Amino acid sequence: MRAVVLSDTHIPRRARDLPEELWKAIESADMVFHCGDFVSFDFYLELKARNPNLKAVYGNMDEPKLVETLPEVEVFEVEGVRIGMYHGYGAPFGIEKKVLGKLRDHDVDLILFGHS
């Protein structure tokens, strides 16, 4: 399986768009994981249109419509691997402990998180 993992894209606040090479990788990937901070709902829709196999959680900088649409925590299985996704909150320092605390009871094999 070929996957693309993204987080903290902050589009359009920090960048206007993703590089074309990254869009090509997204379009050809089996799955795309976004760990939050899309920022705009329109960017989320574009990402989902380019690869419908998108798993995502909202981040602390996402607009309200994203918070209403996406979960805070997502736990799922891919090819026998239990994956937990969570953006996190606060300053990036010490984020690992916060993420582990949030996903401790979910029995996951792999954790993907934001603020990265």
Q: Tell me the pLDDT tens digit for each residue of 38-47.
A: 999 999 999 9
106/96 Cα distance (integer angstroms): 16
Query: pLDDT at position 93, please?
Result: 78
Query: pLDDT at position 46, please?
Result: 97
What's the predicted TM-score (pTM) here?
Answer: 0.93
Nearest residue to 115 via CA among 65, 96, 43, 39: 96
The full length of the chain comes to: 116
Q: How many other CB atoms are found less than 10 A from the CB of residue 52? A: 9
CATH classification of 3-113 is 3.60.21.10, yes or no?
A: yes
Nearest residue to 9 via CA among 17, 100, 81, 74: 17
Beta bridge partners of 79: none
Confidence tier at 91 by pLDDT (50, 70, 90): confident
